[in-house]
Structure 1
Amino acid sequence: MNDFAPAMLTDQYELTMVSAALRDGTAERPSVFEVFARRLPTGRRYGVAAGQGRLIEMIRDFRFRDEDVAFVRAAGIVDETTATWLSNYTFRGDIDGYAEGELFFPGSPILTVSGGFAECVVLETLILSVLNHDSAIASAAARMVTAARGRPIIEMGSRRTHEEAAVAAARAAYLAGFSSTSNLAAGGRYGIPTTGTSAHAFTLLHDDETAAFTSQVAALGKNTTLLVDTYDIAQGIRNAIAVAGPDLRAVRIDSGDLSVLAQHSRELLDSLGATETKIVVSGDMDEYAISSLAAEPVDMYGAGTAVVTGSGAPTAGLVYKLVEVEGRPVVKRSENKATVGGRKTAIRRHKPTGTATEEIIVSQGVPDHQANDRLLQRSFIAAGEIAEPPALAESREHLRQCLISIPWEGLKLSAGDPAIPVTVIPA
């Protein structure tokens, strides 16, 4: 297996642009690139900016190793001058942007990258790869957390995506408010609480369900969750309580009409004296399925495929565009893809009560600041020096506060306008 450094997680045209710019003398022109979304995915009223913490660490390690340079040189992708430039590459510019966990809307300048053209353009693919993935996951997960109304959600989508995407998805889901993950790598890397007990295979391994439950309880104790839907759910619950007693921590149901099954399971558990035994449901959970169970006696959800695929929006639709060269605004004017030139500054305007009312974006300037306004960008890298990023727990709390601040209509799962309007003031 080839082990490529972060610098090689890129598209070829980044290097061919660098090569041409070095040849014609434009490579060092002071430039500003911005990351933004032209629109939100259909039906969404906000997006969640996520991945900045992972991204800044990858930019810190963004180097072209000798073997990487040898590969692109041998393939004829770059000339000798460009190969030398790649060998010496270190990002020495500035990166500012929205805090991880910040809400974004169409046009929000989520990330601003400033420096020489070549050193900035070569970061494009990595930046979009990380932010598009993590923001899509966090945006979907935040909607699920809202739909759960305070009930915990376990992220359990590792088997439905690429192995490294699974770790990033677990991180993004935890940022959005999920309580834990099944992914051990995410637990090890990011300190996310992990959970998990057994699958249907463990039950099928044994001669009968009672034997499987007895084995699990013997190994893990009564503070475990028994999967009761391998055969017959009602009998499974009876077997679970017969083995573990009424102080069993939880049972899990992974199939069927979960609304009806949750009601019947709660009644059965109570009749068996297991009034404190929790009910965990899983199986194709998304924000709509979770919302439909709001009135049912469900204590916890497990969500997998919908989380790691962005619940129908697997990318946040972010783009990376050149907006300024040598202090001069530049504008792309192609149909349906026009941009606003100039470096942007954004504030979020709030009522005295703390409710957000508007996002104001100014091109080449600073918005008039009023009471209760909040500046949205912060420095991640200044002249190549990396600032200490907030801890994941801080970003998680930041998002929680942001979701509290938007009007309640903005939290609806139904299609509608963005939660707050965005006003762009051009240069």
Structure 2
Amino acid sequence: MVTMTTTTSTALLTDHYELTMLRAALADGTAHHRSVFEVFARSLPAGRRYGVVAGLGRVVDAVESFRFTPEHLAWLRETGIADDATAAYLAGYRFTGSIDAYREGELYFPHSPVLTVTGTFAECVVLETVILSILNSDSAVASAAARMVSAAHGRVLLDMGSRRTGEQSAVAAARAAYVAGFDATSNLEAGFRYGIPTRGTAAHAFTLAHADEAAAFGSQVRALGTGTTLLVDTYDTREGIARAVAAAGPGLGGIRIDSGDLGAEARAARAQLDALGAGSARIAVTGDLDEHVITALADAPVDVLGVGTRLVTGSGHPTCGMVYKLVSIADRPGADAPMRAVAKRSAGKGSVGGRKVAYRGLDHAGYASRENVVVRHLPDAPEAGLGRALQVPVVRGGNVVHHPSLAEIRAHHRGAKAELMPLDLDLAPGTPRLAADPTALTPTTGA
């Protein structure tokens, strides 16, 4: 597998106000006060019972690449966003703090402390936008994908959403869907960058480019072999299946149907393929699939499900609504300065002060029974008896200490999802059973 890491700077993938806050904090000294920021969601999208954390690996890459180039600094000076002191600070910016987070692939619920950033106020505050942009987008795709995996009941799931979102968003979405259990993607950059299996054969344009359907199928079989998958619904699906078997013979790999009543079309196709001696040919369906359509196809003879629009766009993955909030800060510089909890009290947007850590309580059968979230300032003083610790060290002293492979991330997701009860996996609208109660959070000793 080829792996690739980006060296492109992520420093300007941020909002204007991050740098105006920095400018003022440098002037009044707050920039150098030790701080703790947390990422959490106050609620899940309406009707969702759980969410899936995705994008942590990309967050780490983004933090490592958060460097201001001379060109960046010149532009910031020219536009008046940065003064001399701010530009000088940004010129030498390197994140030297710590990050703790839920493992990628882990499940999260309202008020779960998904990610904690510790360092000086200056080095933490400028990371807000890039961290949230990654976690909100990737976790939204992974959460939608996980529901589709449940609906598919072991059938092959392909990400085919590249043409329905931005070009880089498509790569990130392919990775997030793979984390949540999708089997492959159509996106070659995702395959190259992350080692995700890729799939694809032909679109309707290939059939239309030939004199007739038989010529198109013959060309594809000669180039790709009889095991290829032929798209049979350009003109008439029944005739297309007959031509597909005629072109490839009984060893035809599969057919794809992209239109019509997919359940009825698949049943008719299975009967026709079997009658023509192509009993081993797989049936793939595509076309505006989501978890509900996939569920409706449960009894249809469908082997492969290709999902695009509703995997990668907002209609399929409503925003996670994760926020990045300051929860603790020192009143003077220095690593030994005492910390004090801080919290918003805004109506509907309140937060709980103090550093939080979380544990997944499990019952005697191994099912998740409670999301135990406690408040404390010491990151390395675990409480006993509260369950499986959910946060792990990711960055220490600016150095990455957490390096799971995508295979390990996928395995962790499967294990975490297996802790859910059938009620939690129900695709009907519901509420999260394991949501932490923010009003019940109380500080532990050691603050």
Aligned partner of 2:358: which letter? Answer: A
* Alignment of 1:44 onto 2:48: yes
CA distance in 2, matches of 1:44, 1:295: 25
Structure 1 spans left out of the alignment, 5+ residues: none
CA distance in 2, matches of 1:74, 1:368: 51
* Alignment of 1:409 onto 2:423: yes
State the shift of 1:389 in Å. Answer: 1.8
Do the aligned partners of 1:253 and 1:282 also contact (CA within 8 Å) in 2?
yes
CA distance in 2, matches of 1:289, 1:22: 54
* Alignment of 1:353 onto 2:365: yes
Q: What does 1:16-415 correspond to in 2, within 5 Å?
A: 16-326=20-330, 327-364=339-376, 368-370=383-385, 373-415=387-429
Q: State the TM-score, normalizing by the size of structure 1.
A: 0.97
CA distance in 2, matches of 1:186, 1:389: 19
Aligned partner of 1:336: which letter? Answer: G
* Residues 228-286 of structure 1 deviation map (CA, whole Å, 9 limit, x = unaligned): 00000000000000110111111000000001111111111111111111100000011
State the shift of 1:420 in Å. Answer: 2.2
* Residues 359-387 of structure 1 deviation map (CA, whole Å, 9 limit, x = unaligned): 0100126674227x100000111111111
CA distance in 1, matches of 2:268, 2:355: 58
Aligned partner of 1:378: which letter? Answer: V
CA distance in 2, matches of 1:107, 1:18: 27
State the shift of 1:419 in Å. Answer: 3.9
Do the aligned partners of 2:110 and 2:435 also contact (CA within 8 Å) in 1?
no
Aligned partner of 1:426: which letter? Answer: T
Deviates more, 1:55-64 or 1:107-116: 55-64
Aligned partner of 2:179: which letter? Answer: L
Do the aligned partners of 2:35 and 2:328 also contact (CA within 8 Å) in 1?
yes
Do the aligned partners of 2:36 and 2:329 also contact (CA within 8 Å) in 1?
yes
CA distance in 1, matches of 2:311, 2:160: 8
CA distance in 1, matches of 2:315, 2:52: 14
Aligned partner of 2:340: which letter? Answer: R
State the shift of 1:417 in Å. Answer: 1.7
Aligned partner of 1:226: which letter? Answer: L
* Residues 115-168 of structure 1 deviation map (CA, whole Å, 9 limit, x = unaligned): 110100000000001000100000000100110000011100000000000000
Number of equivalenced pairs: 424
* Alignment of 1:426 onto 2:430: no
CA distance in 2, matches of 1:314, 1:163: 20
State the shift of 1:311 in Å. Answer: 4.5
State the shift of 1:351 in Å. Answer: 1.4
CA distance in 1, matches of 2:42, 2:382: 21
* Alignment of 1:8 onto 2:12: yes
* Residues 65-123 of structure 1 deviation map (CA, whole Å, 9 limit, x = unaligned): 11111111110011100000000100011100100000000000000001110100000
State the shift of 1:353 in Å. Answer: 2.1
Q: State the TM-score, normalizing by the size of structure 2.
A: 0.93
1:388–1:345 distance in 2 versus 1, CA, 3 Å? closer
1:367–1:92 distance in 2 versus 1, CA, 3 Å? closer
Do the aligned partners of 2:45 and 2:318 also contact (CA within 8 Å) in 1?
no
CA distance in 2, matches of 1:55, 1:248: 43
Do the aligned partners of 1:407 and 1:419 also contact (CA within 8 Å) in 2?
no
CA distance in 2, matches of 1:130, 1:421: 23
1:32 is paired with a residue of what secondary structure? strand
CA distance in 1, matches of 2:241, 2:67: 56
1:7 is paired with a residue of what secondary structure? coil
1:422 is paired with a residue of what secondary structure? coil
CA distance in 1, matches of 2:403, 2:139: 17
1:146–1:176 distance in 2 versus 1, CA, 3 Å? same
- Identity percentage over the alignment? 56
Aligned partner of 1:304: which letter? Answer: G
Aligned partner of 1:360: which letter? Answer: N
State the shift of 1:223 in Å. Answer: 1.3
CA distance in 1, matches of 2:433, 2:198: 33
1:381 is paired with a residue of what secondary structure? strand
CA distance in 2, matches of 1:222, 1:242: 11
Structure 2 spans left out of the alignment, 5+ residues: 1-6, 331-338
1:154 is paired with a residue of what secondary structure? strand
Aligned partner of 2:25: which letter? Answer: A
